[in-house]
Structure 1
Amino acid sequence: MDFVVMDDLSIFNFSDYRVFIRSYINGKKKNKSSFSVSQFSSQLGLKDTSSLTKILNGQRNPGELINQKFIEAFKFNSEEESYYRDLVRLKKEKDVFKKNEILESLKKKANKESFYTLDIAQFELISNWHSYALREAVRLNDFKLCPSWIKNRFSLNMGTEYIEKIYSNLEKLELIEINQEDGQRKARVLRNRYTPPLDFPSDAIKSFHEGAITRGVKSLYKTPVEKRHICSSTIAIKKEKIAEAKKLIDEFQDRISALIESDDADEVYMFNMQFFPLTESKQ
């Protein structure tokens, strides 16, 4: 069976290859309601549906064999194929700084006005609590853009080069600005808030929150109680209230940030909230 790629479905409009594939499948379903992931998997020549399902769910990335099947199925030309392969590489790459090189390559090829999930790809460059903490450190009244000072202030065990690369990425993403003043490097924060879509299924977001939660656990044992506040509530709820609860949590986070955030700060704090089910849904 021949594949037909919709005219308006350009790979250059996407910064996540999975979103592109899902958009293709959803487009086919509009024209033929019976079209399914299973049918698409069969058309690709895969032995079963599980491989494609795992790829779409973010449980794995495609290997070369499946990559080639996608490239042939979507009838990519050489430029489209190069762009698609970069999107896959972006997901596979573990080195946060190599991700930056891939991202720069993608930005040059993409349709700039419609590269609508780029913020997620950018977020992967700073997907750890260190990057956000070092950005907020710029607001400290005694801040020095000096790796040794930063390591001592945050009790960090990391190399000078790593700290310099974090600040380099923050500057490239326009989250801070670095200038020379009186022979010294000075930094200032740009944009008060910078968060990706909270419900986007990104490994980078999961990694960030894992680091934040882990840091909170350490604070239980390391930080005096008068300097921290950690509490929890266990509540039986109706599922239709979940969206409303999440909205209230987001509003509260915005309000408390606006209330206490300062450009003449003396400490960097992390505010971390958790709202998740303890029971397993039967549906």
Structure 2
Amino acid sequence: MLGIIFFGCNVITFFLMAAIYMGISKPSRGKLFGIYIPPEKMSDERVTEVIQRYKTKNKIWFWISFLTMFLQLYPTDYFSIILSYFLVWTTAIIVFKMKLIANVNSELIKLKRELGWYDAVRDVEENYWHGGMFYYNPNSKKVFVNSSLVGNSSSVNLATKAGRNTMIFSAVLIILLLVPSWVLILKDDFVEPKIHISNTELTVKSAFHKVNVKLSDIEQVTVTEISGGNKVNGSGTARYARGVFYYSEYGNCDVFKYRSTKEVILIQIKNRRPLILNMPTYEETMSLYQEIMKAMP
């Protein structure tokens, strides 16, 4: 199910990128890729060569992006793999597309200067664009410029302190939101919850959920079989359930359960919700049960 959801995101991202830059290789208001080309030079052989190279590479981008997005549907029980592929694929197709635009933009600027088509007055703004994506104009104090390569959106002037801070803040925010979450999801998939039993306390901790139980508050410990459960919060995959889950027999429960093992340890606790946990195998689950019973007062 998660693979299908992320595949849908892949499809939206792919067609959005394709639509935004659709027709960009055709002259628009005297410009190609944001670069002014004299009307009589639009059909110049050297210009058409640059455009043809872009079209060839763009076809490669299109088919590689289109075909590889279906790999998101490859069945796997690991949510971290699904998420990692989505992040890598999305980043790759956007960066590759931006690189294509930047290359053709730089080629056209270089061609204009070599052939004497550059007009110092008319084309002065081209001096401030780098790769057609980044605007750097130290002669202007404007933070936002109402100009961009595609459409009528605004761009940030990176020559201003506020412009640089805006870009840095945006990049840091994305990193802080994505990287820690991604690392925790990897940990949840590949690292077993840590279970510590002391003389007074039982602690169970996974990447996103932690429970501390005083042994003196435990009323009953039993081994039973349990199925179903509706997630209240936490993480639930085909391999495990961790977090708070609702079971009709017990209500809301703290759960650390591997689905590969039917048997679970059910711990009834005074004045709080039950704790349900097990290990990847029946033998390991029973061994944990013995440890808990041995530590009980």
Band of TM-score, shorter chain: under 0.3
Higher helix share: 1
The structure, 1 or 2, with the larger RCO (C-alpha pairs under 8 Å, 6+ apart) is: 1
Bigger radius of gyration: 2
